[in-house]
A and B are shown apart, each in its own frame.
Chain A
Amino acid sequence: MTRYQGTRLALTQRQAAAILLLPFLTVYAVFLVYPFFKGVWISLHDWNLMAVAFNPDAKSYVGLSNYERVMWGSNITWGAWASPGYQFFGLLGLGTSVLLYRTGRAGKVTALAIGIASLLLFVLPGFHPGEDGRWYDRRFWPTVGNTILFVGLAVPGVTITAMLLAAALDGETRAKAVLRTLFFLSQVLSVTVVTLIWQIMFSPRQGLIANVTELVGGSPIVWLTAEGFAMASIVIATIWWSLGIAMILFLAGIQDISKDLYEAGALDNATGAKAFWYITLPNLKRTITLVVVLQIILHFQVFGQSHLMTNGGPNDTTQVLVRYIYQTAFRDSELGRASAMAVFLFVIMGGFSILQFVLGREKDQ
């Protein structure tokens, strides 16, 4: 029996997969993988943006000296109490991770992750210039500190607010559906619109917040230019902006919890806040992990809020890493040093991505 199937391409599964993946891989390689390695390569060069643009040979290989210029200084020493604020929390975290693991309240990986983060928090702030020493780049580490502070405030802020909102807005009434939409709406705005809205909100003259403080007899706070309040104000704007996705994730998590558990809880005298604490919260553990890690990765890249609302000020208190990278690269034309900082940021975010990946796979103990 003769068959005429020669004109039809017979693909193995592997070949078909390769063909279907090709478009994505091409885009991924050209726009992500290549620029990433190029960035690493640039970070190893003395590379002035303008000079190299006009003359491709105006760059020179300098090894790791960009990293040194950014992160190190002369006569740097290490002390256990050089920066007590951070280091105390580092030690605290270290203790917590051991305790959590010993009591079996956290898995091995979770405990290890907390432990490593805490260890870094204890070790890194301990470095400081000794006598006659100085950082080569005075602004870099304070900027990293500001970024961490921002993440440290925004992530719990978003997570807790989103979780409480989700718990409150879970249900089938029309009002709840409308409110869910409203709260999600802010998420779709661009950062320029968000910062504009909040600049008006925070305005000490006609702003809503100033009006309210005046109404209750206080004098209006100059939010965006007061050192103690500038960071708070960009954190508040950020929480408002990025609530939506977290809220949706929590709503999905809450709706995943069987209604029977709440009925069993009602019979066990666990209703209202007790039901939230003993039933909702423990069953949201996975969602909380997901939301927290996603938010950490997202908020380490904060740029617009700081750039548009406070210009990194006052006195550099809201200067954040991405804005500093941006300024170093495009204002100061120091592309090599900016790339070194970008690689540093990549390492941080890569660490959290791995953490997310590992936690997502860790089985419940």
Chain B
Amino acid sequence: MSGVTLSNVIKKYGDVQVIHGIDLQIEEGEFCVFVGPSGCGKSTLMRMVAGLEETTDGQINIGTRNVTKLDPSQRGVAMVFQTYALYPHMSVAENMGFGLKMNGFPKNEITAKVNEAARILKLEPLLDRKPKALSGGQRQRVAIGRTIVRGPEVFLFDEPLSNLDAELRVDMRVEIASLHKQIGATMIYVTHDQVEAMTLADKIVVLRNGRIEQVGAPLDLYRDPDNRFVAGFIGSPAMNFLPGQIVKGTLSVPALSDVPELTMRLPADGTRIELGIRPEHLRIDPEGRGFRLELIEKLGGVSFAYLRSGMGERLIIAEDGESDLTDDMDVGVRFDPARAFLFDAETGHRLR
């Protein structure tokens, strides 16, 4: 088992640069999730680690080995594909043992390793089936089993759950998490789903347009985002943003009639800002005014209230599930100023 180090990694397709000098340290045994909107380069970056995409410039190390120029099979990585990429003509056991067979392992050793992986993943009754005869979740497990059998230094997962239905996705998420606990290997996991990122990761790498926006533990990103993008991307439902401006040393937010005293140092007069507050940190004030409650979704444990200000801005508020609020009420909002974030409207940088 080894960590992975990316140093100034660059990827260009012709003149188009898609990965812009990424530096990243993934520790040994760490579960690292690359997350970001589609087209952010997260899959490309993982495929560069796998060796399926050439690295235009920079260096990739697995452990202490420089693998930048090595073939995929020599890097000590194994990968679970979004489409599973199981060999359709081979049985489950053959699929799982294929990598070892290609690397000249003796038959009995292959069988032993396949059986061991099948035991971990509860695939034993399916070993003789063809992939066609398996359900989506079972195929997923076979794909994972194939990587376990290889005993790689680094496991790579490329959006592995996106082809599964919602219920199965949750199950598999838990299975992958417990698998990581069980074998403790370094894992890199690509997803566009921030819930998967939050629940699985030791370390989240938020990517946008081929650049790292922020790296950190899930709760660190949640509590302490570096910029508006990360703040908006991490957390569900997404953070609310209200535009405002600094006027005479104080914060003016047109949507809010009175803005509580914020803890951070305010920038110069005239700076346009955005005030960010998570839905779960806002409260509805039935006595207050300024917002109209357009819709309330009652999910039982929690209710989401959709508010619109007189200026047309929308807010989502996570309220108590037992709330007796109803649609079309006129309400106000309250929040703890310590939980609010301030962002520069121009650059998106966090103002601390």
Contacts and interface: CB of A to CB of B under 8 A. Distances in A.
Interface of A: 258, 260-261, 263-264, 266-271, 274, 278-279, 282-283, 285, 364
Contact of A278 (B77, B86, B88, B98): B98
A268 B99 contact: yes
B73 A283 contact: no
B81 interface: yes
Given A258-B85, A282-B89, A266 B51 contact: yes
B120 interface: no
Nearest to A266: B72
Nearest to B143: A264
A271 B71 CA distance: 10
Contacts of A285: 89
B110 to A, nearest CB: 12
30 contacts: A258-B83, A258-B85, A260-B85, A261-B87, A263-B79, A263-B81, A264-B79, A264-B81, A264-B85, A264-B86, A264-B146, A266-B72, A267-B50, A267-B51, A267-B73, A267-B78, A267-B79, A268-B73, A268-B98, A268-B150, A269-B73, A269-B103, A271-B73, A274-B102, A278-B87, A278-B98, A278-B102, A282-B87, A364-B130, A364-B132
Interface in B90-110: 90, 98-99, 102-103
Given A263-B52, A282-B89, A364-B130, A268 B102 contact: yes
Contacts of A282: 87, 89-90
Contact of A267 (B77, B83, B86): B77
Given A266-B71, A267-B79, A271-B73, 8 more contacts: A258-B85, A263-B79, A266-B51, A267-B50, A267-B72, A269-B73, A283-B88, A283-B89
Nearest to B81: A260
B328 to A, nearest CB: 48
Interface in B134-148: 146
Interface residues of B, number: 25
Interface in B272-320: none
Nearest to A260: B85
Given A260-B83, A364-B130, A270 B98 contact: yes
Contacts of A283: 88-89
A267 B103 CA distance: 11
B140 to A, nearest CB: 14
B81 A266 contact: no
Contacts of B88: 283
Given A258-B83, A260-B83, A364-B132, A267 B89 contact: no
Interface centre among A267, A269, A270 (most CB of B within 10 A): A267
A227 to B, nearest CB: 43
Contacts of B102: 268-270, 274, 278
A211 B78 CA distance: 54
Contacts of A268: 73, 98-99, 102, 150
Contacts of B81: 260, 263-264
A263 B77 CA distance: 12
A266 B132 contact: no
A260 B86 CA distance: 9
Nearest to B97: A268
A338 B212 CA distance: 80
Contacts of B99: 267-269
A266 B54 CA distance: 13
Interface string B63-85: 00000000111000111010101
A263 B50 CA distance: 10
A66 B225 CA distance: 94
A268 B87 CA distance: 12
A278 to B, nearest CB: 7
A276 to B, nearest CB: 13
A279 B78 CA distance: 18
Contacts of B72: 263, 266-267
Contacts of A267: 50-52, 72-73, 77-79, 99
Interface centre among A266, A269, A270, A274 (most CB of B within 10 A): A269
A267 B51 CA distance: 8
B132 to A, nearest CB: 7
A254 B304 CA distance: 51
B85 A263 contact: yes
A345 B72 CA distance: 54
Contacts of A269: 71, 73, 99, 102-103
A245 to B, nearest CB: 25
Given A266-B71, A266-B73, A268-B73, A279 B83 contact: no
Contacts of A264: 79, 81, 85-87, 146
Contacts of B150: 268
Contacts of A261: 85, 87
B85 A279 contact: no
A337 B130 CA distance: 53
Interface centre among B50, B83, B85, B99 (most CB of A within 10 A): B85
A265 B150 CA distance: 13
Contacts of B85: 258, 260-261, 263-264
